Chains A and B, each alone.
Chain A
């Protein structure tokens, strides 16, 4: 009976920090002739928050779906704690990977509490017979599930709305509920697909706090996001996906500096374009930006780490504005 693990704060299979939890090797996903994801390697270690960014259509969500068993990768394999994941999404969840969706997929006509109880499904065992006969075991398990669900609702701050229909919740709270529902399956790794899409800055900050709190519970997190400020604050490591391929992986500073990343987000001048002076101008500007970035990096290295944290948002400000409108098309 896994239902006994009701105490909050200890993930059921908390691992020693630094151990590789998720290991995706050479994941390739083809839809007919279209290769959406090409040979992506990604590891997530326990106690880590890893970000996955990239322009629209880069294959981030497809990659997510490969990890969670919604898609079966054409090539490559995904291991969770050393075991190859089965290609069924409910088995992946049972193995310990929980996810949220880019476009919120709550059970709209169930109450908030019921939504979280559905998340407990893999960690409870009572089947039809137990439900029909209603022995003492049934009541015990049901009570334990309820208690754990209420704990989780308290954790995300929705306990006072447990009896509301989930469709009646405001947008931000629906996101929180989705996270609570995912946490209900006691995961070792939580995949968040654009958790702050459509949120205002305050809500984004609250989500950030929430994700840190989840990390502190010993759950590793892989997050897709377009909000650069958010991702750079949050993540220990960031991987950039462009046109289905992993461009670069590293800490946020490295990724921010990388010219290919900037080019991928802002667009590269394509060769043979009319007006070579313009191209030259762009190149000059790029070189300048690079020099600037280098100078900044040197300055940052010279100075303490706190200043780096402060300037990172500034450097990303223009990138963010470019990426944000694209989000709407994605949903």
Chain B
């Protein structure tokens, strides 16, 4: 909105420096037209063939029907065009951009451009030269570039540069200029504040929530089902930039306001959408990924109680998952388990949770007297102690309990009231197989953890956790038994991890000590769990879920990274901590903690989603 105030002032423009202009010196109306036309043209180009051979994955050779990466470019192009048309003030599109369209146009144009060029370059490189491109490919590249140039010509508020101190060394001046360039670059994508939302009847709001959930499910299913890494990279580019664009357009703020109003409906909607996931799949391949993501996400959410709410940095959390898994495996009737008993699943799940809780209290009681970094180091030690103890109780170095490094194998499938989780079942014409069964079971456990998280955080004990995290001395002076509430948080986190572990043992057939290391290439492990919490956003429910999904999918989909996976992971974490320390989905409170100098909103209506 702020950027559209240019037209009357243009005659006097050259004298003032702060006159909003674009990054590329073109008149605004030409830029806007270029962006719109380029976006539409890019969208149209996806219906043409981009290459002549189907050697490039996704078959981009068909006229009249977009495939593979072309679909992503199409979506980007259409979104750009919609935002651009909305910025012309076309009736019926205004709702798309409550906080101004220009930043969103720039970002979606960038998404379209990046995906289109990525595709074109990937075709040229993989097939050996630009000669492999059909005219459609050239058209897409050109149109994408046009849209981006047009979008970047849209005016924005330039930040005023600080005067340079002439006494500074050349390096200082260079740093100064770089900082200013970075500020300018950030200002390109800055956006205004959203205009107040109109009143909607609540059935319309609920319909919006359902639509959002459906879109979310579609995006997630698409991402999980990307069969080759080019498509997954294109997916990440498009989704990442388009999501930011929606954020800048103010749509996300509006949606989160609606979901905050109907929290229960949102939660039910999200779980119905997640439960629909196995039914969208024709085979069990992606349900496997789904169930592993859910296990990972559930444990991360449990860790979020310990880290995000109570502020206890626990680096050995995966041990509790291991305790739950081993407990369930020992009483599962597996032939390699030394205990010759088989208990029903509900009992083994409760037992797993209970034993994990006992371990939580046992480990927490001595360690929680420490604060901060010391606690982190001690929990890291206890996590490793668990793994090594399991490794050594193999009958030679110690008593035979866990079978040592061989682990407990051939854990039978869960059977609840005759419903065998290992078999395929058909509901209403949908066939759901083993992993889909477990996916639905795990979803129930996730639901339990979400409810526990939400209810405990919004209560006397949750407030005590946050108070202890903020200032333990003051909290104690307010009558809070700091040790006790921290121990409750620790034990609760351990219990939830144990519950998830009981399911995990059945899903993976085998539990071995290697699954529960501090750092490993395959999640879940303590390092990845913590990363999922930090990446997603501490203290929120959706944060660890998103973080876990990303951290699981990215290594699984980008197999070509191979040995560099951990390096890439480390780099990504460093960059994230530099530029967005509060995580992808920040808790309002956390965001304020990390950005102390930015202006905080005066009213915090509902802290912590």
Contacts and interface: CB of A to CB of B under 8 A. Distances in A.
A109 B492 contact: no
Contact of B600 (A93, A131, A142, A165): A165
Interface stretch (A18-26, A116-124, A257-265): A116-124
A94 interface: yes
Given A111-B607, A128-B456, A105 B463 contact: no
Contact of A110 (B477, B481, B607): B607
Interface in A35-73: 68, 70
B473 A105 contact: yes
A167 B464 CA distance: 18
Interface in B6-46: none
Contact of A118 (B475, B589, B605): B475
B476 A89 contact: yes
Contact of A121 (B455, B478, B600, B604): B478
Contacts of B160: none
Interface string B55-95: 00000000000000000000000000000000000000000
B194 to A, nearest CB: 19
Contact of A163 (B464, B470, B603): B603
A122 B477 CA distance: 10
Interface string A100-137: 01000111111100100111111010111011101000
Interface string B536-568: 000000000000000000000000000000000
A70 B455 CA distance: 32
B419 to A, nearest CB: 28
B488 A128 contact: yes
A110 B478 contact: no
B461 interface: yes
Contact of B463 (A89, A118, A141): A118
B578 interface: no
Interface string A134-169: 100010011001000000000000000001110110
B191 to A, nearest CB: 23
Interface string B479-518: 1111000001000100000000000000000000000000
B462 interface: yes
Contacts of B602: 164, 168
A114 B606 CA distance: 11
A165 B592 contact: yes
Given A138-B459, A163-B603, A165-B592, A121 B466 contact: no
B481 A90 contact: yes
In this complex, which of B474, B492, B589 has the most chain A Cβ atoms within 10 angstroms of its Cβ?
B474
Given A128-B492, A168-B602, A107 B456 contact: no
B312 to A, nearest CB: 16
A145 B456 CA distance: 16
A89 B600 contact: no
A118 B603 contact: no
Contacts of A168: 600, 602
Contact of B466 (A110, A126, A128): A110
A305 B468 CA distance: 49
A122 B600 CA distance: 31
A93 B589 contact: no
Interface string A159-187: 00001110110000000000001100100
Interface string A74-114: 00000000000000111001100011010001111111001
B95 to A, nearest CB: 28
B283 interface: no
10 contacts: A88-B476, A88-B481, A90-B480, A98-B477, A107-B475, A111-B607, A119-B479, A126-B460, A132-B455, A185-B478
Given A90-B478, A99-B477, A108-B471, 13 more contacts: A88-B476, A89-B476, A90-B477, A93-B477, A98-B478, A105-B473, A114-B466, A118-B475, A122-B479, A126-B460, A127-B460, A165-B600, A181-B478
- Going nearest first, the 10 A-B pairs with the smallest beta carbon separation are A122-B479, A131-B459, A93-B479, A105-B474, A107-B470, A109-B589, A89-B476, A118-B467, A90-B479, A90-B481
Interface of B: 451-452, 455-456, 458-464, 466-467, 470-471, 473-482, 488, 492, 589, 592-593, 600, 602-605, 607
